[in-house]
Amino acid sequence: MKKSIMLIKTLWILIMIQTLTISFSIAENGQISLNLKRPNVRNIDPIFPNNEAGISAYINVGKISSSEMNMALQVFRSLIESNSEYSLGIIPMDNNTKIEQNVNVYTYIGFAGWIIAYIPRDEPVSKIIQWNNYPSSVNTIFEKAIKNVCIRINKDFDVYQANMLYYNFEFPEANSMLFIIERAYRKASNSFWIEFPSEYTIYEASFSIFQTYQVSGGSLSVDDVEVANVGSSYNIISDFYDLENTLKPEISHKITITNHADQAYYVYGGNAIIYKK
């Protein structure tokens, strides 16, 4: 079997990452791998902000009427553009209900039926991890943003959800996205190992760490060097890994999530990787 990104924690996780099937496991560690596919650009207005968008998710619900578009506009906190072809605005999405820290999801709604949710390319992909539903499921804030639009225009999101696809406009050659979730309970640490093989092109690796209790906090480290610490309050930190100095290719790196407090709560760490296999 061709060598791929390796997570040396359990045999099950190692096998699933090697086969790169769309699946996830919820235990101490969860992961999900998704294919990245470019939208059919012939049906998307050429003025879509390709040069601004980073990671995105999209569906097509069929033609949208003027009255439906008027209803869709109500979902935006701020409207950027609205014309005879499309509307573009911002939907603020929280990725954890305990933390007042919204992520601005830019959402394009075209009369041709395309609904595309994205974040700007200068923001880490790890920002889209939806912590509200973890550990019952691993998903993204894009799903809820698109669902909110569907509700406004009387479309059943469940009908289209299975066909929702992801694409990274910043890295058009990337064809895969991987999320890896780890957590640590009171005064403990959990780790996994990751290695980027030379035959893969890694475009971005980023992290998101948060805690669920206002105590002494939690941290994320790479090879026992601390990269982020969430401090002593409800907090989420999302940022990029340094691929040149912190996560070098062809070297096994240990990523550790640590809970520093002797309290009955979790610290969670999410990792997002954009790559070409």
3-class secondary-structure state, position 130? coil
The confidence band for 7, taking pLDDT boundaries of 50, 70 and 90, is: very low
- Give me the CATH code for the 48-168 domain, please: 3.30.310
Does position 202 have pLDDT exceeding 50, yes or no? yes
User: Which pLDDT does position 136 carry in this prediction?
Assistant: 54
pLDDT of residue 35: 92
Say whether pLDDT at 201 is over 50.
Answer: yes
pLDDT for the residue numbered 262? 81
- Residue type for position 246: T
In this prediction, residue 98 carries a pLDDT of 58
Beta bridge partners of 34: 177
Percent of the chain whose predicted confidence (pLDDT) is above 70 = 79
Most confidently predicted of 23-32, 169-178, 215-224, 255-264 = 169-178
Mean pLDDT of 229-258: 87
State mean pLDDT over 209-226: 84
CB 202 within 8 A of CB 249: yes
Instruction: Say which CATH topology domain 6-36+180-276 has.
Output: Jelly Rolls (2.60.120)
- Contact by Cβ (8 Å): 260, 217: yes
Give the global pTM: 0.84
The one-character DSSP state at 127 is G
- Look at 177 and 15; give whichever has higher pLDDT: 177
Domain ranges of the chain: 6-36+180-276, 48-168
Evaluate if residue 276 carries a pLDDT over 50. Answer: yes
Digit-coded pLDDT (tens) for 53-108: 999 999 999 999 999 999 999 999 999 999 988 999 999 887 655 555 578 999 99
pLDDT score for 261: 81
Bridge partner residues of 35 (DSSP): 176
Q: Given a cut of 80, is residue 30 above it in pLDDT?
A: no
Q: How confident is the model at residue 216 (pLDDT cuts 50, 70, 90)?
A: low
Question: Which segments within the chain are labelled E, that is strand?
Answer: 6-7, 29-35, 53-60, 78-82, 86-94, 102-110, 114-120, 165-168, 176-185, 189-195, 201-211, 218-222, 225-229, 235-240, 253-259, 266-276
Identify the weakest region by mean pLDDT among 82-86, 134-138, 144-148.
Answer: 134-138
Q: How far apart are CA 147 and CA 156, in angstroms?
A: 8
**Mean pLDDT lowest among 113-117, 205-209, 248-252:** 248-252
User: In the predicted model, is pLDDT for residue 151 greater than 70?
Assistant: yes
- Statement: residue 2 has pLDDT above 70: no
